[in-house]
């Protein structure tokens, strides 16, 4: 047996497949039987759908000597034949795992899942605090008392509730104080989690390195180190930005490039934090002015602010990938071509490109091809050259 596909909720449906894709066995296992059954199998590839508990089972099965591959459910669905059931899902998972171009999800460690729980708990508490503040503002507005939005103006709400002007009935004051106590409790818990995130950033060298990027704080750095897959998964920073969901959706065909809205595919928490940081930087640049001749200033002069913010978030994602890949801190001199480039630096780069072009032309002039040689002489040919084509209007 070479591959084993499993599909389960409370009962696991396992299907073994040989090297030629033939079915070796089909078994239905309970949760208590799964690890015992896996320990009796020779080392093989075990494929599962990526779900809430798949990483827990992936770590346990991996400790038994198997190679675990988690597949996104959206990539398994095309291989399901006709009816949807556990047996068909297991067969589809085994088939999808055999594809050489299939993309898999990394199995996270317990430490990574703990960090993810910390981040998501903080995010939940922030949403609850926002809901409570909005509810308190709405109740007071019904009594004729209004205040600006945001947690920074909770003190003004408290002053209205404790005021002696007699505008609020006593029952409304008592209920409003309950909401104020809940807001204060949530704010205290959020502050504790913020301190925990900052502590982790100071102890984690990778997260500390990410905070050197302008606009990236402790929360964003913690989200990158927690939710991002291994940096070796992506060959370039553009691939990483596409995984985050900061690139346009493509509808290209027939040699014509058609780009739509931002795909918004990938890790939404990470993407949201990058866009929030980029929006803050764009607002600061609009208020204080961007450096003359900079990329940000040129973009703001001819593009809407939100579009510039998404483009800036894309650049921040690519910068984060570069820091993770090369293990270096963000430096203005090293990364200046990727940030705010002055016209003088642009002229230096143009001169470098011109010199590089002259060297390339000199090398071409020195290349000798024997008389009568085919036109492909000197070009890369053979099995290392792969060409893929699509019939367009043929």
What is the predicted pLDDT for the residue at 351?
56
Whether residue 379 lies inside any domain: the answer is: no
Angle in degrees, 0-180, between the axes of helices 218-227 and 110-142, rounded to the nearest 10: 130
Task: Say yes or no: 183 and 216 in one domain.
Answer: no
Whether residue 369 lies inside any domain: the answer is: no
Closest CA to 86 of 29, 5, 7, 9: 7
Query: Are the CB atoms for 45 and 97 separated by under 8 Å?
Result: yes
Whether residue 245 lies inside any domain: the answer is: yes
Q: Which of 155, 171, 203 is where one domain is finished?
A: 203
Task: Say yes or no: 132 and 81 in one domain.
Answer: no
Q: How confident is the model at residue 360 (pLDDT cuts 50, 70, 90)?
A: low
What is the predicted pLDDT for the residue at 1?
57
What is the predicted pLDDT for the residue at 165?
75
What is the predicted pLDDT for the residue at 183?
95
Judged against a pLDDT cut of 90, whether residue 388 lies above it is answered with no
Structure tokens belonging to residue 292: 């003359």
Judged against a pLDDT cut of 60, whether residue 392 lies above it is answered with no
Q: How confident is the model at residue 331 (pLDDT cuts 50, 70, 90)?
A: confident
Q: Which of 316, 338, 360 is where one domain is finished?
A: 338
Judged against a pLDDT cut of 60, whether residue 211 lies above it is answered with yes
Task: Say yes or no: 185 and 258 in one domain.
Answer: no
Task: Say yes or no: 334 and 273 in one domain.
Answer: yes
Give the pLDDT confidence of 247-300 residue by residue, as tens digits: 888 888 888 888 888 887 878 888 999 999 999 999 999 888 888 888 888 899
What average pLDDT does this structure show over 288-314?
89
Q: How confident is the model at residue 8 (pLDDT cuts 50, 70, 90)?
A: low
Judged against a pLDDT cut of 50, whether residue 342 lies above it is answered with no
Range of the domain at 117: 110-203
Query: Are the CB atoms for 4 and 16 separated by under 8 Å?
Result: yes
Task: Say yes or no: 167 and 237 in one domain.
Answer: no
What is the predicted pLDDT for the residue at 292?
81
What is the predicted pLDDT for the residue at 356?
56
Give the pLDDT confidence of 65-83 residue by residue, as tens digits: 999 999 999 999 999 988 8
Cβ atoms within 10 Å of 328's Cβ, excluding its own:
13
Give the pLDDT confidence of 48-62 residue by residue, as tens digits: 998 888 899 999 999
What is the predicted pLDDT for the residue at 365?
47
Judged against a pLDDT cut of 90, whether residue 139 lies above it is answered with yes
What is the predicted pLDDT for the residue at 135?
95
Least confident span in 28-32, 299-303, 325-329, 342-346: 342-346
* CATH number of residue 17's parent domain: 3.30.420.140
Averaged pLDDT score across all residues of the chain: 81
3-state secondary structure the chain: CCEEEEEECCEEEEEEECCCCCEEEEEEEEHHHHHHHHHCCCCCEEEEECCCCHHHHHHHHHCCCCEEEEECHHHHHHHCCCCCCHHHHHHHHHHHHCCCCCCCECCCCHHHHHHHHHHHHHHHHHHHHHHHHHHHHHHHHHCCCCCCCCHHHHHHHHHHHCCCCCCCCHHHHHHHHHHHHHHHHHHHHHHHHHHHHHHHHHHCHHHHHHCCCCCCCHHHHHHHHHHCCCHHHCCCHHHHHHHHCCCEEECCECCECCEEEECCCCCHHHHHHHHHHHHHHHHHHHHHCCCCCCHHHHHHHHCCHHHHHHHHHHHHHHHHHHHHHHCCCCCHHHHHHHCCCCHHHHHHHHHHHHHHHHHHHHHHHHCCCCCCCCCCCCCCCCCCCCCCCCCCCC
Whether residue 105 lies inside any domain: the answer is: no
Task: Say yes or no: 49 and 116 in one domain.
Answer: no
Q: Which residue has the higher pLDDT, 257 or 349?
A: 257
Judged against a pLDDT cut of 80, whether residue 156 lies above it is answered with yes
Whether residue 380 lies inside any domain: the answer is: no
Specify the number of domains making up the chain: 3
Task: Say yes or no: 28 and 146 in one domain.
Answer: no
Whether residue 378 lies inside any domain: the answer is: no
Q: Which of 70, 97, 124 is where one domain is finished?
A: 97
% pLDDT > 90, the chain:
31
Whether the model pTM is above 0.75: no
What average pLDDT does this structure show over 182-200?
93
Whether residue 343 lies inside any domain: the answer is: no
Task: Say yes or no: 327 and 242 in one domain.
Answer: yes
% pLDDT > 70, the chain:
82
d(CA 116, CA 51): 15
Judged against a pLDDT cut of 90, whether residue 386 lies above it is answered with no
Task: Say yes or no: 271 and 329 in one domain.
Answer: yes
What is the predicted pLDDT for the residue at 372?
43
What average pLDDT does this structure show over 205-222?
89
Task: Say yes or no: 36 and 68 in one domain.
Answer: yes
Task: Say yes or no: 154 and 217 in one domain.
Answer: no
Q: Alpha-carbon torsion 228, 230, 233, 239, what sign?
A: positive
Task: Say yes or no: 329 and 218 in one domain.
Answer: yes
Whether residue 353 lies inside any domain: the answer is: no
Query: Are the CB atoms for 133 and 159 separated by under 8 Å?
Result: no
Cβ atoms within 10 Å of 36's Cβ, excluding its own:
9
Closest CA to 266 of 308, 302, 319, 223: 223
């Amino acid at each position: 047996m070479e591959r084993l596909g499993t599909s389960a909720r409370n009962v696991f449906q396992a299907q073994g497949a040989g090297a030629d894709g033939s079915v070796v066995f089909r078994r239905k296992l309970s949760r208590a039987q799964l690890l015992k059954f896996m320990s009796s199998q020779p080392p093989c590839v075990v494929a599962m759908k990526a779900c809430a508990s798949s990483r827990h089972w992936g770590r346990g099965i991996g400790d038994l000597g198997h190679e675990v591959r988690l597949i996104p459910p959206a990539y398994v669905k095309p291989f399901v034949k006709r009816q949807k059931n556990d047996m068909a899902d297991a067969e589809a998972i085994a088939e999808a795992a055999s594809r050489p171009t299939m993309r898999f999800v990394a199995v996270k460690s317990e430490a990574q899942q703990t960090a993810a729980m910390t981040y998501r708990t903080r995010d939940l508490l922030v949403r609850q605090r926002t809901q409570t503040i909005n509810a308190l503002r709405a109740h007071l507005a019904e009594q004729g008392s209004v205040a600006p939005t945001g947690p920074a103006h909770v003190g003004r709400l408290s002053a209205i509730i404790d005021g002696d002007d007699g505008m609020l009935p006593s029952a409304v004051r008592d209920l409003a104080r309950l909401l104020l106590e809940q807001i204060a409790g949530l704010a205290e818990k959020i502050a504790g989690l913020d301190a925990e995130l900052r502590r982790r950033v100071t102890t984690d060298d990778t997260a500390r390195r990410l905070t050197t990027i302008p606009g990236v704080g402790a929360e964003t750095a913690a989200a990158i180190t927690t939710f991002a897959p291994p940096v070796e998964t992506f060959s370039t920073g553009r691939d990483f930005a596409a995984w985050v969901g900061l690139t346009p959706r493509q509808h290209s065909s027939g040699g014509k490039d058609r780009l739509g809205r931002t795909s918004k595919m990938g890790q939404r928490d990470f993407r949201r934090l990058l866009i929030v940081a980029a929006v803050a930087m764009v607002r600061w640049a609009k208020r204080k002015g961007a450096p003359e001749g900079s990329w940000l200033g040129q973009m703001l002069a001819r593009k809407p602010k939100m579009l510039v913010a998404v483009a800036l978030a894309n650049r921040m994602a690519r910068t984060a990938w570069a820091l993770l890949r090369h293990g270096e801190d963000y430096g203005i001199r090293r990364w200046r071509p990727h940030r705010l480039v002055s016209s003088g630096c642009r002229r230096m780069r143009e001169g470098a490109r011109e010199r590089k072009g002259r060297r390339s032309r000199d090398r071409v002039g020195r290349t000798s091809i024997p008389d009568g040689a085919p036109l492909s002489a000197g070009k890369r040919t053979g099995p290392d050259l792969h060409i893929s084509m699509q019939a367009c209007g043929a």
